[in-house]
Chain A
C-alpha cells in the first residue's frame, strides 16, 4: 500500500501523521509526506536560505521525525541501514564475508512541491499511484486548512484514490462503512480490516436502500463482506439505512468515530453526495471520514 500524507505546519497535520504511523506499523505501507509551498524565491540569498529557514520544510522534517518516533529503531522498516561486512553463503558450502548495504525495507519520503496545493497533492497522488491520501483538518474552522480553506473537500472530491480526513484527536470506537453497490475492491476491504484492528473498533456495514429492500447484488456483496471479516475474527454488524435517512443516520453515528463511504461510478452515494455536498459531509460530521474508491 502506498499512502500519501498531505501536510502543512499546523497541529492537525501532526495528528494525521501520527494516525498514519499507527496504520503503517500494521501494514508496512510506503509513505510519502508532502508539503506544498505556493511560491519560493528562485534567486539570491533568500533562495539559498529557503530550504533551512522556511516553516514548511522545517515542519515536514519534524513530521518525518514524528512518524519515525512511532517505531522502535530495530523494528522500523523505514530506516536506512549501515554498510558493513556480513558472512554470506555464495555457493553451496562456500561462505564469503561481503560488504553489504541494507536499505530500508519500505519507503518514507518527505517531499515539498511548489505550486497550487490542491493541484500538487492530486498530481503527487497520480504520479506515485497512491492508494490512500490522508490529511488532517482544523475542526474548529469547519474542517478547513489554514492557507486553503477548501483543500480537504477538493481533495476528497477529486482524488483518484481513497481519501481519509482524520479529525483531530477523535477516538474511533466504531467504523461505519456505507455500501450501496457491489463493486468493492479487495484493497478497500483490507484497508478497513487494518483500521478495525488498529483502533480495536466495532465494524458496521451499512447497506443503503432506496426503498425498504436491499438490491439483490448489494445483499450478496454484504454477505460476502460479512464472511470475509468473520473469517478474520472480526464480527461486523450489518444494518440497513434508507437513503432518505442517511443524513440523520450520519449525524447520529458520527459520535462513534469513523464514517467510511464506498463511492463508485455505480454508487447512488455519488448522487447523494455530489461534489458540492461532500464538503457538507466533511464539515458537518464530527467523525473522521474515509472515502473509498
Chain B
C-alpha cells in the first residue's frame, strides 16, 4: 500500500489534486492522509507558549479547518477512505517535511495550477521542501482521466531510480504506460518514432540504447511498456504531444538548472507530473 500525503489548502489547486488522487486510489492501492499547514505569518508572529499559544493556534485554525473539511467532505462520496485532515500551524515547507519524515510516506501530492508563465512551476521546483524531501512528488495541475502514463527519459535520466519508483508506486495496477525518449530539436516538426525505426536512424545511436536499456529494465521488473517512442521537438512541442496522457513521470535533479529542458517540458505539461529525484 502506498502511504500518500496530500497537502491541502482551501483553493482550486488543492481541490483538483484531491479529486485526482481519489481517482488514482481507485487504481492503485493507497492509504491517503491529508494535511493543512496554516502559515502563522499571515496572522503575525505566534504569541508566547503554553495555553496562550494553543488558544491562538486554535483560533487561527478555526476558519481553515472548516474550509478544508468542506473540501474533503465534497470528495468523500467518491473517495470514502479520506480521513479528517491533520491541521498544523507553522511554516508550510518545514511542517510538511517533518510530517513526511515522521510518517515515512511513499508519496507527497500537491496541487499546482498550470500556468502559461513557466517560471511559476520552475520556482516551485526550487523550493526548500522539494530539495530536501526523499519520497517522490506528484504535482497535479489538472483533473484528467488517468488513462495512460508517459514515462519520459532524456540522456541524463537516472534510469534505476525511475524504474524502481515507477515499479513500486504502480505495483499491481492495471495501467497502460508508454516509454518516451525526449530529444530536443530546433523548431520544426514533431516526430514520434518507434524504437525499431529509431535504431535505423543515423542520429539514434546512443538514444536507442537508452531506450532499449530502460525497456529491458522495465520488462525485467515485470512492467513492459505498451509503446516505446522517441520524441524530437522543442520543449513546447514535446509538452503538446504529452497532453493526452493522464500522468507524466520523469526524474529531475533536486536543483534543476534554469534552462533544464526536462524542467521546461514538465512545466508546460497540462496533466499531472510525477517526479522522482536523482
Q: Identify which of residues 196-228 in chain A touch chain B, using a CB-to-CB cut-off of 8 Å.
A: 207, 212, 214, 219-220, 222-223, 226
Say how far B188's CB is from chain A's closest CB, in angstroms. 15
- Between B12, B114, B115, B120, the greatest number of chain A beta carbons within 10 A of the residue's beta carbon is seen for B12
Tell whether A95 is near chain B: CB-to-CB under 8 Å: no
Which residue in chain A gives the minimum CB-CB distance to B11? Answer: A219
A235 and B144 contact, Cβ closer than 8 Å, known pairs A223-B12, A223-B15, A226-B16: yes
Give chain B residues whose Cβ lies under 8 Å from the Cβ of A239.
Answer: 113-116, 270
Give chain B residues whose Cβ lies under 8 Å from the Cβ of A223.
Answer: 12, 15
Q: Are A238 and B117 in contact (CB under 8 A)?
A: no
Tell whether A237 is near chain B: CB-to-CB under 8 Å: yes
Give chain B residues whose Cβ lies under 8 Å from the Cβ of A222.
Answer: 12
Say how far B92's CB is from chain A's closest CB, in angstroms. 15
Determine the distance from Cα of A239 to Cα of B267 in the docked complex, in whole angstroms: 12
Say how far B147's CB is from chain A's closest CB, in angstroms. 10
Give chain B residues whose Cβ lies under 8 Å from the Cβ of A219.
Answer: 11-12
Q: Are B120 and A212 in contact (CB under 8 A)?
A: yes
A237 and B142 contact, Cβ closer than 8 Å, known pairs A242-B117, A245-B116, A245-B117: yes
Determine the distance from Cα of A163 to Cα of B116 in the docked complex, in whole angstroms: 26
Q: Identify which of residues 229-264 in chain A touch chain B, using a CB-to-CB cut-off of 8 Å.
A: 230, 235, 237-242, 245, 248-249, 252
Give chain B residues whose Cβ lies under 8 Å from the Cβ of A212.
Answer: 120
Q: Are A235 and B145 in contact (CB under 8 A)?
A: yes
Tell whether B265 is near chain A: CB-to-CB under 8 Å: no
A237 and B114 contact, Cβ closer than 8 Å, known pairs A219-B11, A222-B12, A226-B143: yes
Which residue in chain A gives the minimum CB-CB distance to B236? Answer: A252
Determine the distance from Cα of A230 to Cα of B116 in the docked complex, in whole angstroms: 23
Q: Identify which of residues 123-155 in chain B touch chain A, using a CB-to-CB cut-off of 8 Å.
A: 141-145
Give chain B residues whose Cβ lies under 8 Å from the Cβ of A207.
Answer: 113
Determine the distance from Cα of A226 to Cα of B16 in the docked complex, in whole angstroms: 9
A230 and B11 contact, Cβ closer than 8 Å, known pairs A238-B114, A239-B113, A245-B117: no
Say how far A244's CB is from chain B's closest CB, in angstroms. 9
A237 and B12 contact, Cβ closer than 8 Å, known pairs A207-B113, A212-B120, A249-B116: no
Interface residues on A, range: 20 to 34
**A105-147 CB contact bits vs B (8 Å, 1 = yes)?**
0000000000000000000000000000000000000000000
Q: Are A241 and B115 in contact (CB under 8 A)?
A: yes
Say how far A51's CB is from chain B's closest CB, in angstroms. 52
Determine the distance from Cα of A230 to Cα of B15 in the docked complex, in whole angstroms: 13
Determine the distance from Cα of A275 to Cα of B77 in the docked complex, in whole angstroms: 47
Which residue in chain A gives the minimum CB-CB distance to B244? Answer: A202
Contact of A240 among B16, B113, B145 (CB under 8 A): B113
Give chain B residues whose Cβ lies under 8 Å from the Cβ of A252.
Answer: 236
Which residue in chain A gives the minimum CB-CB distance to B19? Answer: A230
Q: Are B120 and A237 in contact (CB under 8 A)?
A: no
Determine the distance from Cα of A237 to Cα of B145 in the docked complex, in whole angstroms: 11
Determine the distance from Cα of A89 to Cα of B143 in the docked complex, in whole angstroms: 53
Say how far B269's CB is from chain A's closest CB, in angstroms. 11
Determine the distance from Cα of A6 to Cα of B20 in the docked complex, in whole angstroms: 44
Say how far B191's CB is from chain A's closest CB, in angstroms. 18
Determine the distance from Cα of A207 to Cα of B116 in the docked complex, in whole angstroms: 10
Known: A238-B142, A241-B117. 20 other contacts (CB 8 A): A207-B113, A219-B11, A220-B12, A223-B15, A226-B16, A235-B143, A235-B144, A237-B142, A238-B12, A238-B114, A239-B113, A239-B114, A239-B116, A239-B270, A240-B116, A240-B120, A242-B116, A242-B117, A248-B116, A252-B236
Interface residues, chain B, CB within 8 Å of chain A?
A: 11-12, 15-16, 113-117, 120, 141-145, 236, 270
Closest 5 CB pairs of A and B: A241-B116, A239-B114, A237-B142, A219-B12, A223-B12
**23 A-B pairs in the complex with CB atoms less than 8 angstroms apart:** A207-B113, A214-B12, A219-B12, A226-B12, A226-B16, A230-B143, A237-B141, A237-B142, A238-B12, A238-B113, A238-B114, A239-B113, A239-B114, A239-B115, A239-B116, A239-B270, A240-B113, A240-B114, A240-B120, A241-B115, A241-B116, A241-B117, A252-B236
